[in-house]
Chains A and B, each alone.
Chain A
Amino acid sequence: MANRIVVDPITRIEGHLRIEAEIKDGVIVDAFSSSTMVRGIESIVKGRDPRDVWAFVQRTCGVCTTVHALTSVRAVEDALGIAIPPNAEMVRNIMEGALYMHDHAVHFYHLHALDWVDIVNALKADPKKTSEIAQSISSWPKSSIGYFSDVQKRVQKFVESGQLGIFANGYWGHSQMKLPAEVNLLAVAHYLEALEWQKEIVKVHTIFGGKNPHPNYLVGGMACAINSDGAGGLNVERLMHVEKLLKEGKEFIDKVYIPDLLAIASFYKDWGGIGKGIGNYMSYGDFPTNGYADLSSFKFQQGIILNNDLSKVHDVDHRSTEEIEEFVNNSWYDNYAEGKDKGRHPWEGETNIKYTGPKPPYEHLNVEEAYSFIKTPRWKGMPMEVGPLARLLVGYGRGNEEIQGAVNGALSHLNVPVAALFSTLGRTAARGIETQLVANWTLEFFDTLMTNIKNGDERMANTESWEPSSWPKEAKGVGFCEAPRGALAHWIKIKDEKTENYQLVVPSTWNASPRDPKGQRSAYEEALIGTPVADPNLPLEIIRTIHSFDPCLACAVHLYDEHGNHISQVQNISSCDS
């Protein structure tokens, strides 16, 4: 008899996510992923000035802030045939690169680490040994015995206060926590350091976009005019500030994030065989270096891998009505006029909310019918996983030597086979590997920007098509990007100078969606199948696999038995006499 476990809210994510999983003999045999919050932004932007839409849709997410704004201005530029100046392309790339560095490091330390790191156990560590470990894996200067001893004392006092705050009821002492005390202490110290570091790298957005979160974008380029000989725009002082931030950011990635990732992963190699997923991976490609229209200039390449077969990479076409479709058969929206089992290309998409789930308060969802506010996108009818792992696998399959080198280097460091990539551990490792690549590229983009300015090109925006009166009566476009969490695209239709239709298909739509009319599971649900759960009352393993995707919606998991009864919490495991 299978037990049904419900986890709701799943914390340390963006948004509201709920997982219901069936467990038999200590292993997950089925799973359902549901988003339980909706705002209707797609219908709110209808009828608005297309030049304003980036700001509305940017508010889809404040964690991966910028990517929806970027995708939106690209969609409008595509519809209106606007080519942006090379400087604007580089500034957008630099901002996106800074976002990768910020978002992935924060995910690793603040959203994901507490699944693997036992903070309370760090109190048992010998700071001298932690210092030795730190110095053996990195030349990062903060690695003295005194430093780790101070961190330990601080945690000790915090714990003794009896007010555990965000660490209350964590999974401390769980049988699946495998790090030695000394590595736990190292990770706790870097949790705190990363919390302080992250507020610095985002200043790149503040310089170019005026603020972070939610910096400003502009259809046609960027608003931050260059003035190399004036005080009114981007001058050398501003640019040197950006360079310093990027270099310091890269140093933290190289000397703290990557060594920690490899050190922690080496204790969890068994997770290279857990959380396998659907085996289909998709990347739209991003970081153009010769104009957004020239796909061959992208640092991340576009493509699709099917059934884990890296020898063949398929192309993806956003415009083809035969490729990307969204279904609503298991979602809380009105069915399309043509029927419950039909999909629609996003240009023809609709978002008419129709909640048919249980009335709150409820114990569990009725998964036989619609069970989520997320729609179900498919590529040629097939589910796709998107994200860092998909990007690296597509690059690997395309024969990108830089990506192949980075991936092979990590595999040999951990001494695991290529197959270990298709897993929970693989996703988490891929995120770190690509952060290092992107940190390097971002400095290249900065050099290109400086060279352009040196050569006298100070253009930052193309305003030829700024006035709506210059637009065609009707136009449609698609903007895409590789957000930190994966392939993201917006489809827009413009009519009479207004937004006629607007649809977003975001990374977590691909990964977290409910099943399609054929009953095929999406990535979250599939990846949970076969995951062992040591203690159904403390489903740490579910959270590990779900966090490996870096969900962009807040989740929740509750535990239920096969009759839908809530399993009571056994004990307060934060109690600790050490």
Chain B
Amino acid sequence: MSANNEKRNTYYETIIKRGYSRRDFMKFSTYMAAFMGLENSMVGQIAQSLENTPRLPVIWEHYQECTCCSESFIRSNHPIVADIILDRISLDYSLTLMAASGHQAEAAKAETMKKYYGEYILCVEGSIPLGDDGNYCCIAGKSAKETFLEAAAGAKAIIAWGSCASNGCVQAAKPNPTEATPIHKIVKNKPIIRVPGCPPIGEVMAGVIMHVVAFGRLPELDRLGRPKAFYGKRVHDTCYRRPYYDAGLFAETFDDDNAKKGYCLYKLGCKGPMTYNACASMKWNNGVSFPIQSGHGCIGCSEEEFWDNGPFYERTTKVPGFAVESNADTVGKVAAGVLAGGIALHAIGANISKRKELMKRIKSDKKNEQDIDS
């Protein structure tokens, strides 16, 4: 084998060489279409795209980060990461996984940047520190900014993994001592897909890459550059605890009776109402759970400046500039009012001894309502 081999196998060739039949290949294309939520008429297009596309070269850089994005990526269930890196992309540079170190690692990257100029996808994990001339993050003796600009120049498109590359994340929280900067503020002339989250969900990361691989084009993005398929809805709007919010039923403290019943965590600081992400719909680690299901409010990790929008355990209405919530609050208040009314009607038919208890409950519900308004 030779790294200088000019020939790259297409998916179709790879699959046939692995002993699968043409029929298997078409089945796979149908599966991919279903996975992408497409009409049957698109199957042919996917098959053709897979048949004729060699494995996409990918360079994955690490700057100011904690490697949670790489870790999340290898958690993907569909496709699994072994299939992605062996069959679907060519991950030519990744500090986390690559065998070579030092000069050998840098040489592998240089070769891909040269050979596939204009064709490779650049993935970035981490923010770039601009403070003190970029001295705060150096790799192979070069500053993060310098290596990023070099790699970006020949990239077909750039994927900003996680909140670090998309928004700056924890190191950009006040006072941002290293001037940690998201990549879209450094490179302007390239398509950039922002995939925020700390980290993003593994299947979302795999999904973004597979979109590019299977369709040969970037996913449709919202005005902030995020794929609409995964960042189109608020966590609050897809949350299974939303009916409790609407009914005005809230956990008051952690581990109280209401928390045990799985009531809404809004009053414990849940940032679901201001967070766009797929956590509540896709859930984490192949659908096992997500923060709210496991009893902790959303901390809003896919939103810009979420570290400074806290404290995490304070209700979002107290956060300055959070306008959306006044609407959500109104919804909760109206619903809570209806519930209190229902209890009042029921009280008429109840005997006197129960009446006191019911009045107490009505009062507490009203208090609940006032709390929401406060």
Q: Given A59-B198, A225-B254, A227-B260, are A210 and B99 also a contact pair (CB < 8 Å)?
A: no
**Residue B227 at the A interface, CB < 8 A?**
no
Closest A residue to B105 by CB, please name it.
A11
The answer to whether A214 and B198 have CB atoms under 8 Å apart is yes
Closest A residue to B164 by CB, please name it.
A59
The answer to whether B141 and A44 have CB atoms under 8 Å apart is no
Smallest CB–CB gap between A543 and chain B, Å? Answer: 5
**Residue B44 at the A interface, CB < 8 A?**
no
The answer to whether B66 and A9 have CB atoms under 8 Å apart is no
Q: Given A39-B170, A165-B90, A206-B294, are A463 and B140 also a contact pair (CB < 8 Å)?
A: no
A557 to B103, CA, bound (A): 7
Q: List 25 A-B contacts (CB under 8 A).
A: A8-B139, A11-B94, A12-B98, A12-B99, A37-B63, A37-B64, A37-B137, A43-B175, A44-B171, A56-B307, A62-B69, A163-B9, A165-B55, A165-B86, A165-B89, A166-B91, A167-B98, A168-B3, A169-B3, A195-B82, A198-B74, A199-B286, A209-B296, A355-B135, A575-B1
A387 to B21, CA, bound (A): 50
Give every chain B residue within 8 A of A211 (Cβ-Cβ): 201, 279, 284-285, 289-291
Q: Given A9-B105, A11-B100, A458-B260, are A55 and B76 also a contact pair (CB < 8 Å)?
A: no
Smallest CB–CB gap between B305 and chain A, Å? Answer: 13
Give every chain B residue within 8 A of A195 (Cβ-Cβ): 74, 80-82
Contacts across chains A and B counted by CB atoms under 8 Å: 382
Interface of A is mostly: loop
Give every chain B residue within 8 A of A442 (Cβ-Cβ): none
Select which of A164, A210, A359, A460 is within 8 A of B1 by beta carbon. Answer: A164
Q: Which of B178-228 contact A (CB under 8 A)?
A: 178, 180, 198-199, 201-202
Q: Given A162-B1, A168-B108, A225-B254, are A556 and B198 also a contact pair (CB < 8 Å)?
A: no
**Residue B39 at the A interface, CB < 8 A?**
no
Select which of B7, B105, B261 is within 8 A of A232 by beta carbon. Answer: B261
Give every chain A residue within 8 A of B180 (Cβ-Cβ): 39
Closest A residue to B2 by CB, please name it.
A575
B-binding segment of A151-159, A272-280, A401-409, A480-488 = A151-159
If A39-B170, A168-B92, A223-B254 are given as contacts, then 9 extra A-B residue pairs at C-beta distance below 8 Å, sorted by A number, are A37-B136, A62-B71, A62-B199, A162-B9, A171-B104, A196-B80, A361-B146, A459-B255, A554-B62
B-binding segment of A46-54, A255-263, A336-344, A428-436 = A46-54
Give every chain A residue within 8 A of B55 (Cβ-Cβ): 161, 163, 165
Smallest CB–CB gap between B171 and chain A, Å? Answer: 4
Which 6 residue pairs across A and B have the least CB separation, nearest first? Answer: A232-B262, A62-B68, A162-B5, A170-B99, A210-B291, A557-B102
The answer to whether A213 and B170 have CB atoms under 8 Å apart is no
Closest A residue to B253 by CB, please name it.
A463
Q: Given A171-B99, A360-B134, A361-B142, are A227 and B261 also a contact pair (CB < 8 Å)?
A: yes
Give every chain A residue within 8 A of B80 (Cβ-Cβ): 195-196, 199
A538 to B101, CA, bound (A): 9
Interface of B is mostly: loop
Q: Which of B225-259 contact A (CB under 8 A)?
A: 253-256, 259
A569 to B110, CA, bound (A): 13
Select which of A153, A458, A539 is within 8 A of B18 by beta carbon. Answer: A153
The answer to whether B100 and A170 have CB atoms under 8 Å apart is yes
A51 to B299, CA, bound (A): 13
Give every chain A residue within 8 A of B85 (Cβ-Cβ): 165-166
Closest A residue to B5 by CB, please name it.
A162
Smallest CB–CB gap between A92 and chain B, Å? Answer: 14
Q: Which of A190-239 contact B (CB under 8 A)?
A: 192, 195-196, 198-199, 202-203, 206-216, 218, 220-227, 230-233
**Residue A492 at the B interface, CB < 8 A?**
no
**Residue A81 at the B interface, CB < 8 A?**
no
Give every chain B residue within 8 A of A374 (Cβ-Cβ): none
Select which of B71, B176, B301 is within 8 A of A63 by beta carbon. Answer: B71
The answer to whether A165 and B92 have CB atoms under 8 Å apart is yes
Give every chain A residue within 8 A of B293 (Cβ-Cβ): 210
The answer to whether B92 and A65 have CB atoms under 8 Å apart is no
A362 to B139, CA, bound (A): 10
**Residue B133 at the A interface, CB < 8 A?**
yes
A38 to B65, CA, bound (A): 10
**Residue A10 at the B interface, CB < 8 A?**
yes
The answer to whether A163 and B259 have CB atoms under 8 Å apart is no
Q: Which of A516-552 contact B (CB under 8 A)?
A: 537-539, 543
Give every chain A residue within 8 A of B267 (Cβ-Cβ): none
A554 to B98, CA, bound (A): 12
A572 to B104, CA, bound (A): 8
Smallest CB–CB gap between B104 and chain A, Å? Answer: 4
**Residue A476 at the B interface, CB < 8 A?**
no
Give every chain B residue within 8 A of A543 (Cβ-Cβ): 101
A168 to B101, CA, bound (A): 11
A-binding segment of B22-30, B152-160, B309-317 = B309-317
Give every chain A residue within 8 A of B138 (Cβ-Cβ): 16, 36-37, 360, 362
Select which of B62, B74, B255 is within 8 A of A199 by beta carbon. Answer: B74
Fill in one digit per residue for A561-578: 1 if any B CB lies within 8 Å of its CB, else 0.
000001001001011100
Closest A residue to B9 by CB, please name it.
A161
**Residue A383 at the B interface, CB < 8 A?**
no
**Residue A398 at the B interface, CB < 8 A?**
no
Give every chain B residue within 8 A of A460 (Cβ-Cβ): 254-255
Closest B residue to A51 by CB, please name it.
B313
**Residue B17 at the A interface, CB < 8 A?**
yes
Smallest CB–CB gap between B109 and chain A, Å? Answer: 9
The answer to whether A361 and B98 have CB atoms under 8 Å apart is no
The answer to whether A39 and B14 have CB atoms under 8 Å apart is no
Closest B residue to A212 by CB, please name it.
B285
**Residue A6 at the B interface, CB < 8 A?**
yes
**Residue A60 at the B interface, CB < 8 A?**
yes
**Residue A269 at the B interface, CB < 8 A?**
no
The answer to whether A168 and B140 have CB atoms under 8 Å apart is no
**Residue A15 at the B interface, CB < 8 A?**
yes
The answer to whether B18 and A163 have CB atoms under 8 Å apart is no
The answer to whether A572 and B3 have CB atoms under 8 Å apart is yes
Smallest CB–CB gap between B144 and chain A, Å? Answer: 8
A353 to B101, CA, bound (A): 28
Select which of A159, A163, A353, A466 is within 8 A of B253 by beta carbon. Answer: A466
Q: Given A63-B71, A161-B9, are A232 and B294 also a contact pair (CB < 8 Å)?
A: no
The answer to whether A38 and B178 have CB atoms under 8 Å apart is yes
**Residue A110 at the B interface, CB < 8 A?**
yes
The answer to whether B284 and A212 have CB atoms under 8 Å apart is yes
A554 to B101, CA, bound (A): 10
Closest A residue to B289 by CB, please name it.
A206
Give every chain B residue within 8 A of A575 (Cβ-Cβ): 1-4
**Residue B288 at the A interface, CB < 8 A?**
yes
Q: Given A359-B135, A557-B102, are A11 and B255 also a contact pair (CB < 8 Å)?
A: no
Give every chain A residue within 8 A of B129 (Cβ-Cβ): 38-39
Give every chain B residue within 8 A of A166 (Cβ-Cβ): 85, 91-92, 94, 97-99
Smallest CB–CB gap between B285 and chain A, Å? Answer: 4
Select which of A9, A38, A208 is within 8 A of B136 by beta carbon. Answer: A38
Fill in one digit per residue for A455-498: 1 if any B CB lies within 8 Å of its CB, else 0.
00011110100100000000000000000000000000000000
